[in-house]
Structure 1
Amino acid sequence: MNNKARDNKGYRDGYTKGFDTGYADGYRRAQSESAVHKTAYFEGTSIIIPTYNQLNYLKECIDSIFQYTNSSFELIIVDNASEDGTAEYLQSCKGIRYRINPENLGFSGAVNQGLRMARGTTLLILNNDAIVTTHWLDNLLHCLNSNSKFGIVGPVTNYISGEQLIDVSYTNMAEMQEFSQVYNHSNAQRWYVTSRLTGFCMLFRRKDFFRLGYFDEGFEIGNCEDDDYGLRARLLGMQLVIAKDTFIHHYGSVSMKSLNSRFEQVYANNLSFYSEKWSDPHGMLSLDWQRNANLQTIDSYPTCVMVQGTGEETYWIQNGSRYPISGDPWLQAVRVSQVDLSNWHLCEEISAEEVNRRIQSVYHSSLLDGDMEGKLVKMKDGSVYQCKENKMHRFINRQTLAVWQLESYQPWHVNEYEKKKYKEGAPIITPPVIKANNI
């Protein structure tokens, strides 16, 4: 190795080490000063690949990325405790960043770790059994950057469920690449707004990630978490787009198929979790509040609740702000991510006694007291709303009330005439399950 190459390698290693150290410190400081949004990022794409026990597919995927990606990128591999030599392979690789987990955290857990490590201004989730093609990332970026309403963009492929599936006739990888060279020509007329994108390849902006937050780790292993993420994006006013001018190959669910007899049970559990979480997801998307919305996830969280991030410090949430609490109030804090936490404006510290006083004022005082902020009201059909910023926000189901520790409070009954005095705001949803202690 000559001196110049040695200097360049030292610079890259030093930069990566410094970035990782600074980013970790930034997340810790985010509890008090929103430092999550202040980290310096590079103008490029962080490609995040979760992997489990499919080393040959992973190698082929990585090779294709280095061969066919022209845009600036970094490659992040998160291994979910593979037993096939994946860890040793990653340790021998050059030009990638990786994390090796001691246990399988599932697709969402691995993706979240990758998002936590990422330092690009755009973020891309890619399955380990995908083979990318000529101009693939350039085309996806062109689509994403063409319209601020485009929130998440995905390509078409040969093996998938839904509208991203196209017919192909190739029989080997050489023919596949020849096919893609003819197919992958950027064309805005072939961009299609859809109601669903699958998670095998999803591209989105970092600034929209700050609005949207992390994947929900309540889903086991894999399946349905991409539907959940896409729905949450649509609730915030983002559009899901299929770039039908971009094809990549997908072998298809190789990690999930490796579960064998467990697959059906995992899929059933995830469907149940999704159903219990959302109840009527498509009904929510037709409400007036959602049209032309430019929201962030915390707009769909309640007010007058206690939350907690990665540390032990708890916060009182009210009027779009978070107040650090000194002492030990009796209300249990709800775990939220550091991204969500940082989106609330940080205010001065308040005492536990003051929090208890506010709880009494909000949840145990009459509607006749005047201030409606935080009050819970119940309609004749049983639906429960909270008044927040002069709008009525409906809890999407009883589970949501319970997750936010509000189920024990008795809401006040109001009629439709009284409710119509207020505009309808974004529905109140549950925060994604976050299991890691640094997210």
Structure 2
Amino acid sequence: MSAAPASAGLSLVVLSFKRFDTTTGPCMATLAGALDDPRTELILVDNGSDDGSAGRCSELAARWPALNYLPQATNLGFAGGMNAGAAVASGEWICLVNSDTLFPSGALPALLASLARVPPDVAMVGPVTNAAGNGQRLPMPDVPMDQVADIGAAAMRAPTGLLTPTYRTDFFCVAVRRSVWQQLGGLDPAFGLGYYEDFDFSLRLRQAGFAQVIAEDVFVAHVGSASFSAMGTRQHELMRRNRALLLQRHRDLRFEHVREGNAQALRHLIDVSESSGWTDGRRERAAWRFAALLWDEARSPFKRWRWRWRHRDIRRTLASRGIEARFPAVTPTR
């Protein structure tokens, strides 16, 4: 176990559990640059893998001396595993990273740049992605997973400059101020293997008086559900149990469809652009989120009509600016 650099501003904690070749290995390959950056430290936690992945993590740690590797004897669950990694973090910010994510070229510098400019009251920052349950999602219909990172990298080359307020943050990848993480006691292990501990933390962070935002200029690709896909019916049982626990703790919480988060993010984009100017990056992002607004409409005719009526002002504003709904195209790399 190597010592963290004293000047590290960002501690990246990657939680690994089984399937090294399809999750942790590719994820860590995209984060290798963090080992040579004095602003960052890289921490890898293996959560009691029993399929040989722990050995592969050990081999990786042997090749990368700067990597801080923390093998766990048993599966501590998402909360327990992340808490173990965060406990040794030295950075001002702790970034929790699911092993089923990929950092496209430019994502880590973009994250560091976004964290450097957030206001003091913002204690949690999440990137945008292809798969999430809130406004962080920028959908890519029919795009193969092997092309998602390229689209995300291209999007980051057209920055918006936006930090979008959000009701909750999805923990596929999230940066939290270490002081606030410690104040809140990290994630709650009561949620067991996983599900809804991120929602619980988001609400506790809000209750403590801190804000959370979406960094529109940071894209991290998300494969999704890699750790739970083999659980079968136990996965749904775990989700039901933890949802009930969340409702018991937070009586005033609200569950929002992902389309609501996208609409809120689009409204914020429009408000900022109308007051400070429409840049090329903002116009491209507005076209993307507008396409998502249309693509994600309710199937019920009445609900679809009501949804369109509620957001008719968005359509009018974008039409007046000549912005049409459009998903990004894949740019050939050859």
Query: Normalising TM by the smaller chain, what interval?
Result: 0.5 to 0.7
CA distance in 2 between partners of 1:221 and 1:232 (Å):
20
2:215 counterpart SS class: strand
1:55 counterpart SS class: coil
1:108 counterpart SS class: helix
Establish whether residue 122 from structure 1 lines up as the match of residue 106 from structure 2: no
Once the 2 structures are TM-superposed, how far is the Cα of residue 241 of structure 1 from its aligned partner?
0.6
CA distance in 1 between partners of 2:252 and 2:87 (Å):
31
- Choose the corresponding residue for 1:62, options 28, 32, 36: 28
Quote the sequence identity (%). 27
Classify 1:279/1:181 alpha carbon distance in 2 versus 1 (closer, same or farther; 3 Å).
closer
Describe the superposition over 1:300-352 as per-residue Cα deviations: whole angstroms up to 9, x where unpaired.
xxxxxxxxxxxxxxxxxxxxxxxxxxxxxxxxxxxxxxxxxxxxxxxxxxxxx
CA distance in 1 between partners of 2:170 and 2:77 (Å):
16
Classify 1:186/1:137 alpha carbon distance in 2 versus 1 (closer, same or farther; 3 Å).
farther
Describe the superposition over 1:30-67 as per-residue Cα deviations: whole angstroms up to 9, x where unpaired.
xxxxxxxxxx9433321112221121211000001115
CA distance in 2 between partners of 1:176 and 1:88 (Å):
29
Once the 2 structures are TM-superposed, how far is the Cα of residue 215 of structure 1 from its aligned partner?
0.8
CA distance in 2 between partners of 1:274 and 1:256 (Å):
19
Structure 1 or 2: more helix by fraction? 2
Counterpart contact for 2:131–2:139, Cα < 8 Å:
no
Establish whether residue 97 from structure 1 lines up as the match of residue 64 from structure 2: no
CA distance in 1 between partners of 2:9 and 2:187 (Å):
22
Q: Which residue does 2:284 correspond to in 1?
A: none
Once the 2 structures are TM-superposed, how far is the Cα of residue 170 of structure 1 from its aligned partner?
4.1
1:192 counterpart SS class: strand
Classify 1:219/1:167 alpha carbon distance in 2 versus 1 (closer, same or farther; 3 Å).
same
Task: Using structure 2 for the length normalisation, give the TM-score.
Answer: 0.68
Q: Which residue does 2:244 correspond to in 1?
A: 272
CA distance in 2 between partners of 1:213 and 1:132 (Å):
27
Once the 2 structures are TM-superposed, how far is the Cα of residue 205 of structure 1 from its aligned partner?
2.0
Structure 1 or 2: more strand by fraction? 1
Q: Which residue does 1:44 correspond to in 2?
A: 9
Counterpart contact for 2:15–2:97, Cα < 8 Å:
yes
User: Comparing 153-162 with 218-227, which one deviates more in the overlay?
Assistant: 153-162
- Choose the corresponding residue for 1:250, options 216, 222, 247: 222
Counterpart contact for 2:35–2:41, Cα < 8 Å:
no
Q: Which residue does 1:327 correspond to in 2?
A: none
Q: Which residue does 1:212 correspond to in 2?
A: 184
Query: Which structure has the larger Rg over C-alpha atoms?
Result: 1
Once the 2 structures are TM-superposed, how far is the Cα of residue 179 of structure 1 from its aligned partner?
1.9
Classify 1:69/1:130 alpha carbon distance in 2 versus 1 (closer, same or farther; 3 Å).
farther
CA distance in 2 between partners of 1:269 and 1:181 (Å):
37
CA distance in 2 between partners of 1:65 and 1:104 (Å):
24
Q: Which residue does 2:18 correspond to in 1?
A: 53
Counterpart contact for 2:82–2:96, Cα < 8 Å:
yes
Gaps of 5+ in 2: 255-334
Q: Which has the higher contact order (CA 8 A, sep 6+)?
A: 2
CA distance in 1 between partners of 2:9 and 2:110 (Å):
14
Q: Which residue does 1:162 correspond to in 2?
A: 134
Letter in 1 for 2:100: D
CA distance in 1 between partners of 2:8 and 2:25 (Å):
26
- Choose the corresponding residue for 1:263, options 225, 229, 235: 235
Counterpart contact for 2:103–2:221, Cα < 8 Å:
yes
2:228 counterpart SS class: helix
Aligned residues between the structures: 246
CA distance in 2 between partners of 1:131 and 1:144 (Å):
19
Counterpart contact for 1:158–1:249, Cα < 8 Å:
yes
Q: Which residue does 1:150 correspond to in 2?
A: 122
Once the 2 structures are TM-superposed, how far is the Cα of residue 123 of structure 1 from its aligned partner?
0.7
Describe the superposition over 1:252-276 as per-residue Cα deviations: whole angstroms up to 9, x where unpaired.
0110212122101111111121122
Once the 2 structures are TM-superposed, how far is the Cα of residue 118 of structure 1 from its aligned partner?
1.3
1:161 counterpart SS class: coil
Establish whether residue 200 from structure 1 lines up as the match of residue 172 from structure 2: yes
Classify 1:120/1:134 alpha carbon distance in 2 versus 1 (closer, same or farther; 3 Å).
same
Once the 2 structures are TM-superposed, how far is the Cα of residue 172 of structure 1 from its aligned partner?
5.0
CA distance in 1 between partners of 2:58 and 2:102 (Å):
22
Letter in 2 for 1:220: G
Letter in 2 for 1:109: G
CA distance in 2 between partners of 1:239 and 1:186 (Å):
26
Q: What RMSD, in angstroms, separates the aligned Cα atoms of the two structures?
A: 2.3
Q: Which residue does 1:10 correspond to in 2?
A: none
Task: Using structure 1 for the length normalisation, give the TM-score.
Answer: 0.52
